[in-house]
Homo-oligomer: A and B are copies of this chain.
């Protein structure tokens, strides 16, 4: 798992796994050529901090593979996750010096970075990048707002079910599987990270996971491998409309 980094040699954009979803999704060949000039790859090990809140950022970029978290921390140590960065998600904000959040690699992580200054210039001149970034930011805003409902109004059990359904759905859409039949995936988060995501303590997370298992909503193989026998059931537990909002 340590030497995975070796295969992290620079890709060509053409065969980049996030080519069609990332901030560069709408770029044409010319745009890509310009991007190639200002881009570079960086890899991080699981647990490593990508940026500290308040630190100066001289790049922006996309998650190519792996998972990272965006967290905010209060002086007394209480922390809340405010973003979960999956492949194709964008990191950093054009037009701002420092990072507003801690960014931490949860798994081994590969990032495609762009030097910030030239990237900002490119945003002014080529519309494709800015358009796509707007679209992605609007999506993130919607996700953040859904998350606010979870944090503000759902019970612990509903929160867990919501998280599992989000990850399960996202995983299914990545792997092009439908939501019929049992859904199996690895939970890429520790109990503590789940707690930070949901505004709970890790003990409560653990208890509710056990409860969902006991009640047959989920099955666990080891601590991290989750299977969902009935996705509709999980949606009910999450308190969500179980209408067909799949593949959003």
Chain A residues within CB distance 8 Å of chain B: 70, 72, 74-76, 78-80, 82-83, 93, 95, 100-101, 124, 127, 130-131, 133-135, 137-138, 140-142, 144-149, 151-153, 198-199, 239, 241
Contact = CB atoms under 8 A, between A and B. Distances in A.
Main DSSP-derived SS at the A contact region: helix
A166 to B, nearest CB: 15
Given A148-B147, A152-B151, A135 B95 contact: yes
A199 B151 contact: yes
Nearest to A75: B241
A80 B138 contact: no
18 contacts: A72-B148, A74-B153, A75-B239, A75-B241, A79-B153, A80-B148, A80-B149, A82-B148, A93-B138, A100-B145, A101-B145, A127-B127, A127-B130, A130-B131, A133-B134, A140-B141, A148-B148, A148-B151
A148 B142 contact: no
